[in-house]
Structure 1
Amino acid sequence: MEAEAQFIHYQLKEAMPSLMKEGQQNDGRALYALGQIFLTQGIYTGDTRTLLRSMAAFSKGKEDSEEKVLCRSACCTMEVGGLSRTGKTEDDVAMADALSRMAEGGDVLAMTEWAACLLYGTGTEKDAEESLSWLRCAASQDYWLARLRLLQTERLKEDRESRRDVFNQANHLALMGVPDGEFYLGECYEAGWGTEPAWNKAVHHYERAYSLGNPAAAMRLANGYLRDTGNEESEAKAMEWLRLADEKGNGEASYRLGKVYASRGEKEKTWAAVSRACLRNYPAGVFAAGFLQMAGCGTKQDEKQGMIKIRLAAQMGYIPAQMYLKNPENMAERLIHDWNV
């Protein structure tokens, strides 16, 4: 299938028309490819509708047949990375057996899903090393998703060889046009993973990642420029990237903007930014919104609603909120100073 080969090599624009047509005909492999495309787009944009399209594509291809076993596996992996499953059901065992046969037969998509089964123990025994071996095999055939999963696995390790492999995989993905490749390449240059640290090169790749649709890159750029304290040009660039990240729905960016506006005494802007962080379920933003609402800073004072938010932040595991609930007097002075109340 030409469209499948294009999907494997991240030629998504070229692949989409044929994949959509084949998906409408209930072709399991096309539905799997569409599901992965929608899933990636949904993660980048945070668009719930796109994520639902991904699940719909996978679910449509879940009927028991070897053609559609890929979609069944993808659904398993989406369930909290496969962790919510026992991996012992009859259906999962049959799925894993089919994927194993397909992988042994050279099916690059099956190799990647079989690797996921081995990693999470879905329908088979867990075997992290064997999982990594199958990911490497699929990545060697230039399947972008296998390369990305291999990178994300190696990224958790701290040895020099793994960091070098992260750099190499990121570089290859970037050349393929995968936004995450550019993002992780920026990370490698920023942290000196597998290469010499170079902030100017990190900036280049983060900017490329953002332009290709990865909003997390804006926050990395903002944080990088914020570290250059006392430099007016860097501070201006940091604010620019914070605003862009905020526009893309990043809760941390909203919160950080609120801190900047608070330092300037712009109370209404502070509240507007922090309330966005709260709506985006960023724990620090939820806590700050609660405190500002209790204090009536930039918004109408409402102690009841403010306390509800603070308790919510504590339930989310945000330690300052938990500390505030135990002893509000001890934290009040610091919060008043931090938020310029």
Structure 2
Amino acid sequence: MAAAREVALTVVNAHLGDTAAQVTLGKMYVQGQGFDQDYKVAMDWYNKAAESGNMAAIGEIGFLYYSGTGVPQDYERARVCISLAAERGYWPAQLRLGKITPLSTTTTTTNQAASEPRSTQGDKAVSALSEIRQAIANASLEDTDADVAQGDKYARAQGVDRDYKAAMGHYLKAAERGDPTAQNRIGDLYRFGNGVTDDFSAAMMWYRKAAEQDDPAGYHHVGQIYEYALGVPLDNDLAMEWYQKAAEKGYAPAQNSIGGLYYLGRGVEEDCGKAMEWFLKAAEQDYAEAEFGIGLAYTINQGVPVDNEIAMEWFSKGMEHANDVLYRIGLMYYKGLGVPCDFSEAFKWISKAAQYELLPAMTDLGLLYTVGRGIDLDYDQGRAWFLKAATKGHAPAQCELGFMYHEGLGVPVDYQSAYEWFLKAAEQGVAAAHGYIGNMYHRGRGFPQDYAKAEEWLLKSAELGRAYAQREIGVMYFYGEGVPQNQALGFEWCLKAAEQGDDEAQCDVGNMYSLGQGTYQSDIKAVEWLRKSAEQGHAKAQYELGDAYISRKGVARDIDAAMDWFRQAAEQGHEQARVTLESLQNSERQRSEE
């Protein structure tokens, strides 16, 4: 535990600019202590410290060049760095100084050094170090571009199976070197919940890092956070301010967004003329969304006269540059982002995008069919679209296909097929798939019950933030199902799930507080969590909440409130609630007759 704390402190101090910590962190990466061995990252940290004049860092850079570890072997650069570090008192460099060059070279170098003024030697060392720093910077830039490109391949399934976790790993390496593109990409992963639990605060943090580097995409993304109220209060004025920063740099998406604010009158007076001006700026850069917007304006007499011929020209241009714009429009209608939530419109746009074999669109189209949103429920169509995307390696589609076989949705229940598809998705880091496999081992579905494997898979899912898995692993620990009983740990996991809105977990947490099991006893906290669950329609929680009103546990006695909650539970088939409700109604009837 102490070692972990030391590692954490070293990382924090290194990021805060402590050069000694930066050197220590570099050595940890070289030696593979606390982290996977990574000479490139080590060199990055040494370079940061060297830029501040840390002699230990300069010496360690020399050692890497001498051995050719993580960098091309270069004895001259090694000699310059180690000599400079030794001269300034870095004793490991002093120990190695006599061993860094062949004897003949050493003699010549020593004689030359003796004949040169000390100031000239210093100038040469500084010059050589400057060259080394530039070489390191260039190598770092190349590594950064490579990491972003590799991250994009995994995120977009370009020649590899889609793997958001792998994409995140590459983006993080580039982002730590200050690359704004990588920082924006990480923000997108958090914003859309790709490979991670969606987290608008984390998205905003990464977008701001990019914006702080005067990056137009970063500016635009921050503006979108404010316009769509993603984890922050709606603020169209701030959105416009950020969009303008990006638009001033000629960034087409921001120009289009400013046009949208004028078009809809958000934070500014509605002005279709100005909106059209901004849309045209973006369209001049072949920005598909703006081209579609202009085409739409020509069909509905907004800012320009109706002219279907011109509209078709703009729509055609938009289709040439569309990429995923159709899908994004569909998502906006589905989530109600900037437009009223409309599942029919979402279906229309997502189905158009799916025709272009955009894998996320194909998967979401399958979901719309299987839940009957925007279209009549049709399991066959849903499965067909899932299968198309799943066979192309799209992990969410593989997970959904597994779920259909697991639940028998439009097909006979087939646990073997379910497991095979879940496994494909789990191998790409889909948290839900880990959870489903864990559940199958927990319940003995498709193969013999195996609590050890259930725990292994559920923990993977729970640690990735899947509420269902957090609740299930919590129940296993709480009751000791195949694992040593640990009610406190069970409570912790159930609480994580409850905080994500899982109604079953909220009911469990309420009961744990009521009984004082796994946590302290509190009727008030019990009622708080039972109410959250009951308001989501959980019958057991509704019954327990009704009982709390009868027995004065955490709330004042209120027969009417109790009867209301018992009635809601009874309507869902909760037998005890029905019996209790009838008893209360009879008691009320008798009192009124007396």
Residue number in structure 1 paired with 2:556 = 301
State, as a whole percentage, how many aligned pairs show the same letter.
13
The answer to whether the 8 A contact 1:254-1:274 is kept is: no
Question: TM-score, structure 2 length as denominator?
Answer: 0.41
Residue number in structure 2 paired with 1:10 = 164
Residue number in structure 2 paired with 1:215 = 467
Deviations 1:58-111 (A, max 9, x none): xx89885543111233345558xxxx9674x6x854x366325302xxx33343
Residue number in structure 2 paired with 1:99 = 353
The answer to whether the 8 A contact 1:132-1:150 is kept is: yes
Matched, 1:184 2:436: yes
Question: TM-score, structure 1 length as denominator?
Answer: 0.66
The answer to whether the 8 A contact 1:252-1:277 is kept is: no
Correspondence list, 1:295-334, <5 A: 295-297=551-553, 299=554, 301-303=556-558, 307-308=560-561, 310-312=563-565, 314-315=567-568, 317-318=571-572, 319=574, 320-321=576-577, 323-328=579-584
Deviations 1:155-207 (A, max 9, x none): 22187873112211222222222221211110121233333321111011112
C-alpha separation between the residues in 2 aligned to 1:330 and 1:19? 67
C-alpha separation between the residues in 2 aligned to 1:268 and 1:3? 48
C-alpha separation between the residues in 2 aligned to 1:164 and 1:52? 43
SS at match of 1:176: coil
Kindly provide the amino acid, as one letter, of the partner of residue 154 in structure 2: Q
Unpaired stretches in structure 1, ≥5 consecutive residues: 25-29, 44-48, 332-341
Kindly provide the amino acid, as one letter, of the partner of residue 213 in structure 1: G
Residue number in structure 2 paired with 1:148 = 399
Matched, 1:272 2:531: no
Compute the displacement of 1:295 (Å).
2.2
Q: 1:133 to 1:2 in 2, by over 3 A?
A: farther
Which protein has the larger Cα radius of gyration, Structure 1 or Structure 2? Answer: 2
Residue number in structure 2 paired with 1:41 = 197
C-alpha separation between the residues in 1 aligned to 2:552 and 2:415? 48
C-alpha separation between the residues in 2 aligned to 1:221 and 1:212? 13
C-alpha separation between the residues in 1 aligned to 2:186 and 2:480? 50
Correspondence list, 1:18-29, <5 A: 18=181, 21=184
Compute the displacement of 1:42 (Å).
4.5
Q: 1:202 to 1:52 in 2, by over 3 A?
A: farther
**Correspondence for 2:486 among 230, 237, 241:** 237
Q: Higher relative contact order by CA 8 Å / sep ≥ 6: 1 or 2?
A: 1
Deviations 1:205-258 (A, max 9, x none): 1122212222322321243456668x9x84x42452133312442543453355
Q: 1:153 to 1:324 in 2, by over 3 A?
A: same
The answer to whether the 8 A contact 2:506-2:532 is kept is: no
Kindly provide the amino acid, as one letter, of the partner of residue 331 in structure 2: A
Residue number in structure 2 paired with 1:72 = 329
SS at match of 1:302: coil
The answer to whether the 8 A contact 1:115-1:131 is kept is: yes
C-alpha separation between the residues in 1 aligned to 2:567 and 2:325? 43
Comparing 261-270 with 237-246, which one deviates more in the overlay? 261-270
Residue number in structure 1 paired with 2:414 = 162
Comparing 279-288 with 189-198, which one deviates more in the overlay? 279-288
C-alpha separation between the residues in 1 aligned to 2:541 and 2:376? 41
Deviations 1:284-326 (A, max 9, x none): 33442342233223x36332xx633651463475534455333
Compute the displacement of 1:328 (Å).
2.1
Matched, 1:285 2:439: no
Q: 1:292 to 1:267 in 2, by over 3 A?
A: farther
The number of residue pairs the alignment matches comes to 298
Kindly provide the amino acid, as one letter, of the partner of residue 98 in structure 1: K
Residue number in structure 2 paired with 1:134 = 385
SS at match of 1:294: helix
Q: 1:116 to 1:253 in 2, by over 3 A?
A: closer
The answer to whether the 8 A contact 1:9-1:142 is kept is: no
Comparing 132-141 with 285-294, which one deviates more in the overlay? 285-294
Q: 1:253 to 1:114 in 2, by over 3 A?
A: closer
Correspondence list, 1:116-127, <5 A: 116=367, 118-119=369-370
Q: 1:22 to 1:200 in 2, by over 3 A?
A: closer
Unpaired stretches in structure 2, ≥5 consecutive residues: 1-148, 156-161, 173-179, 200-224, 235-256, 258-287, 293-317, 588-594
SS at match of 1:185: helix
